[in-house]
Amino acid sequence: MPSAVEFTHEFIEFAIHRDVLKFGEFTLKSGRKSPYFFNAGLFQDGESLARLGQFYAQALQASAVSYDVLFGPPYKGIPLVSAAAIGLSTHYQRNVPYAYSRKEEKQHGEGGQLVGAEITGRVMIVDDVITAGTAIRGAIDLIQEQGGQVAGVVVAIDRQEKGSGQRSAIEEVEQEFQVPVISIVKFADIIEYLSAQSSKDQIERMLAYRRTYGVS
């Protein structure tokens, strides 16, 4: 198994190669001008999803958090939870059931909002990033309504930046629901990677962004 640094660097290189992680100037939904952008929707072929699932599985294994079911919020969480379940089975021989939800309740066929395994026991939520925390809060409410207990959340990237207050959205979720949020990489990991790879100007833009929006 690679070291923690090797693991994060492998994921960053993978994301850059797939154009999922880009550097430049990007306007976020919040209006902030960010020197980087992460778009998990560009993991859009079978090879990419298989590799991504391996990274999620490895992050879950390293966390040592116990869980019985994986859950993906709509819509990006659906392929991500599927990939994570396959990664756990393929690389760690763990056959973990998974489920996901629709945004709207289905009124025909089998009906309902949930698809897949029964929501029972300890449930791990799988998503790409927590920005405002709205989708995660919705997922937590749904899991609790079904009688499940939220074991934690695993995301691809922790932006480590302030939300509307002084805490990050991830810190707010951890403190509000008393659950761990696991990430494959953090913003600090990207800076560390760039320090050996990129121009001084790019690193300075990242550091300036952290000085303005980063959490302490």
Q: Residue 10: give its domain's CATH number.
A: 3.40.50.2020
Confidence of residue 104 (pLDDT cuts 50, 70, 90): low
Of 163 and 75, more confident: 75
Q: How many residues does the chain have?
A: 216
Q: Which domain holds residue 186?
A: 4-213
Q: What is the mean pLDDT of the chain?
A: 91
Residue 101 has pLDDT above 70, yes or no: yes
Q: How far apart are CA 151 and CA 164, in angstroms?
A: 26
Task: Determine what percent of the chain is predicted with pLDDT higher than 90.
Answer: 75
DSSP for 69-106 reads: EEEE-TTTHHHHHHHHHHHHHHHH-----EEEEEEEEE
Question: Which of 151, 149, 183 is CA-nearest to residue 169?
Answer: 183
pLDDT of residue 133: 79
- Active-site residue list: 106, 108
pLDDT of residue 107: 47
Structure pTM?
0.92
Residue 7 has pLDDT above 70, yes or no: yes
Q: How far apart are CA 124 and CA 70, in angstroms?
A: 5
Instruction: Write out pLDDT tens, residues 20-59.
Output: 999 999 998 888 899 999 999 999 999 999 999 999 999 9
Q: How far apart are CA 145 and CA 138, in angstroms?
A: 11
- β-pairing, 69-72 vs 122-126, is parallel
pLDDT of residue 163: 78
Instruction: Write out pLDDT tens, residues 107-145.
Output: 444 546 899 999 999 999 999 998 877 888 999 999 999
Task: Determine what percent of the chain is predicted with pLDDT higher than 70.
Answer: 94
Of 157 and 2, more confident: 157
pLDDT of residue 198: 66
Decide: 191 and 93 in contact? Cβ < 8 Å.
no
Q: How far apart are CA 213 and CA 31, in angstroms?
A: 12
Number of folded domains that form the chain? 1
Local structure of 133: helix, strand or coil: coil
Q: How far apart are CA 116 and CA 211, in angstroms?
A: 43
Measured over the CA atoms of residue 102, residue 105, residue 106 and residue 110, the dihedral's sign is positive
pLDDT of residue 165: 81
pLDDT of residue 105: 61
pLDDT of residue 187: 94
